[in-house]
Structure formats: C-alpha cells, structure tokens
Structure 1
C-alpha cells in the first residue's frame, strides 16, 4: 500500500512539472480529450488526437463546440445534451454515452464519451472535462453480430448488468407468444417473471459463473410461460462483452432460441422407442438396417415378403447380392456420397431379384446414422414394392405409343380425304356444266337441276370440311397483331354491305392493343362476326354493332355487341357453335361460320362465349392472348 502511495504521488508531481508526461498519457491512453469553459461556453479545447480520430487536421479546427456539433449524429447530440443537464444538476448522475460522429471521409466513428464537471466551492459547475474512446471496431462487430443473429430468426437480448436496462428483439417476445409492446416496459424482471420458478436458481448460478469468469458463456435450457399459459422450452446463450473499470460485468449480449419442438421430440423419442420397434416389425413397407458394408442387420416381415427371403436367409447376404447388376453402380455411388456427407439421404428406383428368380421393382429410400466420431453405425433402408406400378406404367407407355401412331394416321387420312373429296366434288360439278353446254335443253330438266344443286352443295360441304380440317391440323406460328387495324380493315372492305344494310359499325378498340394469333384466323374471325351482325340485323329498329375490348393481365376479350334478332339460348344454347346449325330463316345461312370461328379461336389458345336475347341483341366475347 505504501509503494502505491509514493508512486502515485510521484506520478502526480511529474505530470505537474513535465508536460511531456501528460501529453504521453493523453495521446496513448485516450482517443480524445476536451476541456470546456461552462462560463464561456463558446470556448472549448480539444486535443489533437480528438481530431485525428475523426480524420481532421487539428491545426485547421476551431476550439469551439461549433467545430464538432455539425458532425455528430444529431439524435446522439440530443442525448448528450440531456445527460449533460442531468450531470450538471446532480454530480452523482454519470455523464456517459455512446455517440456517433461522421468521419471526414464519410464513414461513422463510434465514440464512448465520458465527462466530469469541475465545480467551484459553492458546487457550481464551471468547467467540464471529457474523454473520448474510439469503440468503432467493437460496434461494427456488434452490428455484424446482431445482423447475423437476426437473419437466423433467433431471439436476441442485451443486458446492462449494472443498471438492469434490457433490450429484447421482436423475435424474443414472439417465442413466448407476445409482441414487444405487450411486454413493455422491458427489463430483466420481464425474463424472471416469465421463467419457470424451478429454473431460476440454476440460471442464477450459471450467470455468476460468467460474472466470476469461471465460464466464458452463459448457457441454459429453461422453461418459460407462453402467452397461452403453456410452458415452452428455450435455449439462452450469452456472454459478457464489456466490463467496468473495476472488473464488474457491464454489458451482456445473448441469443434466445425456441427449442420447444426439439424438447418435445426428445421426449417423444424417449417414449416411442418401444413403439418404433413395433412399427418397424409391422410396417406396411419394407424396412431394414444394414451395416457399413451393406450386410443386412435387421429386416422386417414386409421386406421378407417383397424379396421372398426369410430374415435368417437375408442376414447371410448383402444388398449387393440381390440387386440387379445394372442398378448396382448407381446404388453404390449414391451410398458413397451419403458416407462422404455430400447428401443426407437418397432415393432410387431399382430392381431386386426375388428368391424365385423374377424381377421385383422397388423404390428405395436410404439414410445413415453415425456416432460422435463420425463413423457409420448403420444405414436405414425403406423399400416399397412398385412392381404393379411399373407394369401399369409400361402399359400406359404402350397405349401412348399406339395413340400417337393412330393420331398420325388420322392426320394423314384427313389430308387425303380433304384433298380427294374436293377433287371429286369439283369433278362432278364440272361434268354437269359440260353436259349443259353439250345439251342445252337438259339445263331445265328437273333431275339435272336437282343434280346441279346437289353438286354445288357437295362442293360447299367439302370446302367447309376442308377448312375445318386445315384449322385442326394447323401448324402456323402465331404473331403479334394490331387488333384495331384488323377490325378497321374489315369494316372498310364491307363498307358497301354495311351501307346497304343501314347498320352502324363502331370500332371502339384502342389503337395500341396487340394480340397474339394467326393473322389469317384473326381476320376471318372478325369478318365472320361482322357479317353475322349484318346478316341477322333487325328490320324493326336502327341497327348497330359495337366492337370494344376488356383487358386483363394476359388476355384481351373482344366484344361484338349488336341489337339484332338475337338467339333463344334456352332452346339453342348448346347448338350455337355446332356444324350446320342455323336459328333464322336466312337464305345465306349455312351454319358453318360460327363453327369455323370457334375452331379458329380455340386453335390459337382462345375461347368464345355468347350472350343473347331474342329480339334484343347478341354479344360474342372472343378471348385471345395479349
């Protein structure tokens, strides 16, 4: 004790008499020193190191609070001012806080700022002495630590052991069923109130071990009262990162992890060991344990049924002995990856040889159990007999092949029929015309007239069928089409019929709308629906056809709305788009146009709907891709 006293006195005397000793202390022990005249607050002295830490040239900086107040974080400045007022009013209130400064190069410098007021004989503060410690590295590590923890969906906590101030993140509260707002105000008492009473004593003992530096980390599995009233298990792990000058724990940081499911599983596992043994034996799928060399250690009855071997017989074999040679390399390769921990498990379709010699198709799932030293203890295999499924799969493949072949033949047949029928029907019409030229008198013969009309109808029918076939067999590529242009072109080409019919056709489609489709089909669809409105207009009122669109994210619906004769959908709704279906006595009606239109739309991936009321009007809705 005497040595301390004389050395302390000697150091104090040396500091008073030799400025170099004071400069050495302030330059090497502190990251900044400042001295402030509270009676003339515009005067404040900052040592050179104060400015070096912040990246500035001390010779260029004023000795005034205004020199640093614009580079300190303004929120932190307010905290510092509040603490200063409390310290000046009460010397027992410590002037200590962490503040952020903006370095000259733009990055943040974290400073622990401590100060002490120097008072006159009446206790009035006249000067303020302060020191800075650069804790940027520590704060950056703390931020990275918090960021890493937050990304793991784990609760976190901070605890000032000396003041009791505690900070939890939102996940900490969520684990016990609350929000932070519901738990406010937060303190260490919050944890203690929620903790199971039986766990508090052990928790306190482990904390003391950390405080006494007998243990580096505080680690404890404890029960906490959930908001729903149940007890949940959590794992808390923390460490003291800051200590007071006299060696007491100051700041402690830790994690708070939900382990309730794991604890449940451990308990369930303990309870279910016997149940597992029973399940293994009586499982609906084959199960087996194999040693590291692939030798069967234990099998259940289902596996014995699948491969035809008894347990005693299989125990003398390895899985390689009953695996089809073509499947063995793949199985062994996956098994090796499992051992090397390149995968946690693997699935495989493979073939076993049944004891009777035939092939058994199986679906295999394999996982692995290792000891604490990383050595393989055994493999767990689950085996499902899929022989019946493989048989069905092969039958389906065979049917699919046959179907594809039949479809190809049907396509060829359709081409031949459409070509040959057109040739023959045109030939019949040609022969009749030649007969009329050769024998003009028979032109008015009733039978010849019937034959002529029949030939004309046959030609038209073949043309209709050919067009339908071409649509169904179409392989044309879709392209981008300006919808307004197509509609306007058809309106202009039908101008004479529109004028003669006295119908208003209004193109209300936006000029910027494009659809995806086959140009010839889109043109045909628009033409057919416009002529349909002209053909079936009402003579009892001024007729109109409005063409507009509705747009969704990926579809355009074109609406053809007229006020014509309409259709009785209750009676004919299922026939509107049928072949050769007509609903009005019109000399040009053949019942083909809507049938072809529907086929064209559907071949482009679209659809057509109709809503109609007799003597009111009809609306056709054509939906196509944007």
Structure 2
C-alpha cells in the first residue's frame, strides 16, 4: 500500500472532516497530493478507469495526469491551485478536460481541499473527480437549443471578477463575438429607471444572500434597439460566501410585445365591457330532463349599478334570485322568450321591468345569443347584455309629455308660431297663425309658401327675410312689419340647423303689435298730461338722475324746500337730506335699481334753505326712459312738519306713560290688540311672570299665562253652558265687554311653571272716536293675601273644631257622670235603709265597684281632654321603626302571653310628620287591640307595613283576629264607648281617641274587616 494511501486512511479514521468531505461530493475518482514532494501524488483506481486506463499501469506521479490534460485547462488549474493554497477561503473547484485513452474528451469536475499543519502551512491536498461529460454534452445540446430559442447563458467568477457570456447572450446584446463583458457594462445595457434599478437590486440580493431572481426587463442593445428580455440569476456559495453567479438571458421581445398587446387588447376589451352602459353576461345552460340549469360564468359589474345589489349579494342566491328580480307581470314572457331562443339556438331581444334593491322599478332591454357546444349536445352558452333603459323610457314618456305640452303651449299662446322648410313651405302652424293667415285649419296652410298664402306686399316683405335666415344662418328678431290695413306685426325668424350645421328650417314668431302702436300714440298724449300734472301739482315733484342730481323740479317742490329751480338743479338730493335718514333711504334706492321693488315710501327730513328741518312724506319710483334708455327717479314729497311735531309731542306723552307703567314693578300691566296679541308688557309683568317683553310682545297672547281648566270653568260661569262656542281669548274678552270692567281672582302660570294667584282686571281700550282698539289687563300678585286668608280660615276651622269637641265633651261628661251619680244615690239610699250587716257589706262592695267605674270614666275623660289640648302641638319628624319597636316593647308581656307574632315591614329610615305623643298612642292602641281581640282558634299574627300616595304617608296595621262586621258596626266604629266583642275589659274609648288624634293632625283612617278573618286599619298621615 502506498504511504499516501495509508496516510489518507489514517486521516479518515482520525476524524469526521474527511468523511464529511467524501459524503458531500459524488466521486468518480480521488487524489491525494504531497505538496512537500510535489511529484508524488496518489490517484484512485476509479479515476484511471473513468479515463480508460489500467490503474496498475499508471504511476502515482503528477506527470501521469499532466500528459493527458487539456493544455489551456492545465494553466488555469495550476493558477487555481496556487490561489487555493495561498488563501484557505478560496475554493478549488474546476472543470478540466482530459483526453480519454480512446481519444475523445472527458470533462471532469475536480474539487480539492488543502491539508494544513499546525502552523497553517499546506502540506497535502485531497481531491475528488466527478465525470460530468454527460452533463457538459447536455449543456452544449441545451445551449444549441437555447440559441435556437434565443436563450443565452452567462457566468460570473466573483473571486476573479470575470464575466462570461455565451454566444447567444452576445447575440441578444448585439455585440461582436469577441466582446469581453464586465459586470458594470452588462448592467448599463438595461434601460434606465426601474429596469436598471430592478436588475441592480436583484444582483445585490443574489451576491449578499443567494436569493435567485427571474425578471422580465427592457435593455437597449449595442445597436440601440430596445428589447424585452427574461433574465434568470443563481448564486453558488462556498463557506457562506458567493463565489459564482450564473444564469440565463432570453430574448422575449416578440412574445412580450405580443403579450403586452394581448393584455392591452384584453384590457381594452374588459374596459369596453365594463364601460358599456349595460351588464354583459355569459351563462352555461345544461338540460337536465325538462329542467334547464343556468350556471353563471361571467357578469360585468354594471349589473350591480342596474340592480343596486353588491357583488356578494348578487352571488348569493338566497339574497338575489334572478327570477324574483324580474317584475311579476313580465317574468313569464322573459322565460318564454329565452327558453325559445335556447331551443332554436337563435338570438333574442326583449324589454321588461326589474325590481331595484331600493324598491323602485327599472326598465331594461336585454339582447342575447345562444351558442352550441360542439362536444356536448345538451350544453348551450348564453352571451348577452342588459341595458338600463329606465331613463330612456322615462325620457321617452317625458319627451312625449313635453312634446304634448309644447304643442299645447304653441297652440294656445296668443302669438303666431310657424315652421318653414328650406323651400319656405310651412310645415307647422299654430291656430293663431292659421287664423292670422285667413284660414280655419292647419291643413289648409301646410305645404304652402307665403306667395300662396298672402297678398303680394306681405310675401314680398317676407322673402328677403327668409332668404337671409336660410342662406346666412342669422336670426332676425323683433322686426316691425307694416301688414297693411292699419295692422302692425313684430316678426322674429330663427334658423334651425341640422347635425352638419346647415340651416334646414325657419322658426317664425309673429306678434300683432297693432294695439302697442295705438298705445304709443296714447303714451305721447299721456306724457303731455304728465308734464302738466308735474308742473301744477300741489305736491312737490322732482325728476332725479341715477346719480342723485336734480333734473327737473316743480313749483311746489321749490316752495317746500325754499330753493329756486336753478339752485336745485345744481344740487344733489343728498346735499339737503338729513344724514341719519340717508342710512334708511340709500338701501331702498338700491332695491329700486335692482328691481326688488317698484317704489318706496318713507318719512324723511330735508334741510330747508333757511337751515331748519322740513319733515316730508316721500314717495319715489324708478322710471326707464323708453327713448334714451336712461332710467331716472320720480320723487314726490308732502310737507308733514306739523304732523311730525304733533307726533313727537304724543310720543313724549306715551313715553311718560310707559315710565309710569314700568315703575309698577309688582303689578303686571299687559295690553293686547283685538285678536289678543300682546302689544305691551311692563316691568311688573316681567317680574311676576319671568318672561322678558322681547319674548312676549308681538308673539304671544295672555293665554300663555292662564290655565285651560280655569278658562273653561269661567266660561261655564259666564254662559251657564259648556257647549257655547266661545274659547281661548274670546272668554277673556267677555269679562271686558260685560261691564266697564270686572275684577276677579285668577291663577297665573310663570315661565318656570310655578303658579300663583292674582287679582285681574280686564277692560276695553278705545280710541278717540270710541272705536275699540284692544284690551288692557292689570294683575296684582295676591299670594301673601291668600296665605293670610288661608291662615285665618285655618284658625276659624280649629276654633270651630274645638267648640264642637267641647260641646261633645260636655255631652259625654253629662251623660257618663249622670249615670254614676244616679248609681251612687241609689246605693246610698239603700244603704241608709238597710240594717242587716250582710246586706250592708254587699252594698259597700257595690259602692267600691261604682267608685272604680267612676275613676275609670274620669281617666277616660282626661285622655279625651289631653287629645283636645294637644291639637295645636307642633309636628316633628318621627321615626316609624323606632316608635313601633318601643310600642311593641311596652306590650311584650301580653304579646308573649298570647303567643303573638308581630312583623314590621318598615325600613330604618322611614319617618312620618306628626305629633310624637300621638304616634306613640296610635301605634300602641292598634297593636294592643290586635292582641286583645285575637281569634280563640289561632295564634295572633300582626303585620305592620308602609306605603305612600302623592299627599300621604300610609301605615297599615293588619291582623288575623276576630274581625268586625262593618255592616252592623261601621257607622259606630269610632264613636265613644262603643264595643263589639263583649270583652270584659273593653271600654270603647281607644278607637275614639285614636281617630281624634289622627284627624287633629290632618289625617284620616280607613278600615277593612271580615268576621273571623281579621282587620286592617290604614292610617293616612299628611306629608
């Protein structure tokens, strides 16, 4: 075994590096080279076998393989080995041509790796051989194919910066075959802009991270032609670095331009389809027995505009059903037409209606055709387009209506209208023209010329006019024509042109102006009359230019202002107008000039020649001079200086009166017009009602402050009948018209909604001549007065109540004490007459019993007195729960003895506004009665709960005791000394006292009871 072979085996056994190397390459031979003894080199047998040599005959020397290697490749290989040995990061990977023993060339890929000692010095070199002859041949064959397909290849040796182009690549770039490219010049061939930017970025990515690219770009050849190419690039990496770039380039100019043209054609077609004012569609129709199945292949987006549905909605059959889109009156006809076309394989067209998504009805026109599928007899292709004809149909209807309307207008206007063709024959004439021409029917004049219709003079006048319009295309407007016999006409002739701009007809309009001509004569006479009126008028009159200069003034104008005619003609009306009045005057003049008004009237001040102010009532209007076309103002003034002074004095008086009214700050003084609209609202009214005068005057009636129910009640008081047709302000007017005035109490409502009482007086307001001008209401706030009145009534009520109680108490005392006194008297008489000791003892026991009864009666009477005395005691906030707990605590002994269960459905915070001592007594009385008058067959259960109404706090005491027969005892339930159950300890005083206590606080009691079921007392405490 050769020592190098042996050494290699040791290396293989010693680590993974060599094994990994072997595993990563495909071997057709190996070699191991002693760099220290360069002539010694070991070649594996497979290397020599690949080249057709007997391994046994071949020496392990460098010279053995150098003799059979291509000389050009040998120089390149020696250079590559040197570079690899000098730089371990430079890879050795070369394709070398060897000469086979049989004489043909074998392409070997030689990959090598230097083995270095501890100091990094290369001492050995290990390599592998791979036969790539077949691949090379395939490459060459492929290159020929690529050349035929205009595909070239390129390769860049990154380390050596050497770029190789194949012949086809050079051909694509239109350079000579001996052209030597480099990377920079290669990139410069690509068109500037995005194309060059894209290739540059792609090569950067290819070099930096090995990202391949496949781009279609434009480049400019050496001959200046711009062509499309497809360029592909790949990278070969070694130890993470890019060492080689390679790829292909293909001339795709013809295909690309065809592709672009096709795409543009498709885009144009798609644009055409999408921009056709209709929805283009394509369906595949298959027959499934009697049924036909329609499958939508394509539908242009215009369908969404026609139907209002979105693309998603249209593709969802649950939302958009084509048959349901069609109007129900048209669907059968549409189906029949389409199915018939499918069967006959012919085109169809139809107008019908569809339902738009928004609920409206659309008119559509559908045109389609049927095409057969040559492969499948039961398959048809439907291609069609759907046009929205809604506007067209509606326009057609509208045009018909407009045509109808236009013809109606033409036939009914009091003006002659006609139409002549280019031969001057009439083709339309309205009734006025027919009548003016001396005929009865339009048919009588249609097709005839003026020469056939009129006498020579009229036709002669019309001929040059018609020829000018027809030949020159000009419009003749408002020509005055003498029609003879004292008739005059205003003639207009307008050319009608066809699409080429040529005149093919004349529209004629003839207006009879005979009456206007007569009026012009009358106008001249009228102007003469105006001149005389102007000069001799009692009012001042002036003609003023648009600039404000006096043109002409009459004598009265001079006298009012003190200036002469000549002086005024040299002045502007603004020179003698008060500056403050011009602020109002100038806007009115502008409105006259702009045509917003025909005239204006105002009161204004002029400056008299003597310096004083003259008040004048001014009326001004704008007149257009028909002859000169220059407009001017006519101004008339009347001296009202005296009236203005009187008005000023009146205003001062009214102002003083207003001050007096406003000084009444707590009395509302309100005036209205005849319809009730408020015309004045003084300070007192503002204070009392909360409204400002600005909110009320001229906007509201006094009904704003009144209650409807009170007005209705007052109507009944006035008329004793609800059905009288008098309502609203008319009711208030009745109070003013009944007498001179009526004063009554009313309730007014403030702006904030609060109410208060007033004493209101309503009276009529009359003018100097006794005419009724309106109404005046004066209202005083009587809230304090009513409060004191209520207090007095309350005191009287208390006094009355106490008197009644005193009388009742006297009756009770008389009744009860009288019985006890009689009983005492009888026992004493019997005791005096009795001598038997036993009988005497019995009478003494009876006397003791009577004494106890008298004592109890006195105590009861004392309770009654105490209740009456506390009637005026102050109320306080009493906690309901705490008071109930205290009452039950005082009754615990009898409650426990009776086994009673007491439930309080009351919160801790609830209170009642009452006299505390009364609340203690009331709660104690109701709970003790519920225990005392319990059922003998069940344990007593007592429920105490609360509720409330708008005015009262309600406390309920409910038990399950004996109950009371309210039919028998209802009227006597709360009377004194009334008992209903026969209990030995019953006295009939508790409920009497309780009722008096509750009523003394302004409350009352309600009771519900049923015998043997129980009783509920509801106590109402005022809030």
Q: Which has the larger radius of gyration?
A: 2
* Structure with more contact order per residue of length (Cα contacts < 8 Å, sep ≥ 6): 1
TM-score, reference length from structure 1 = 0.35
TM-score, reference length from structure 2 = 0.22
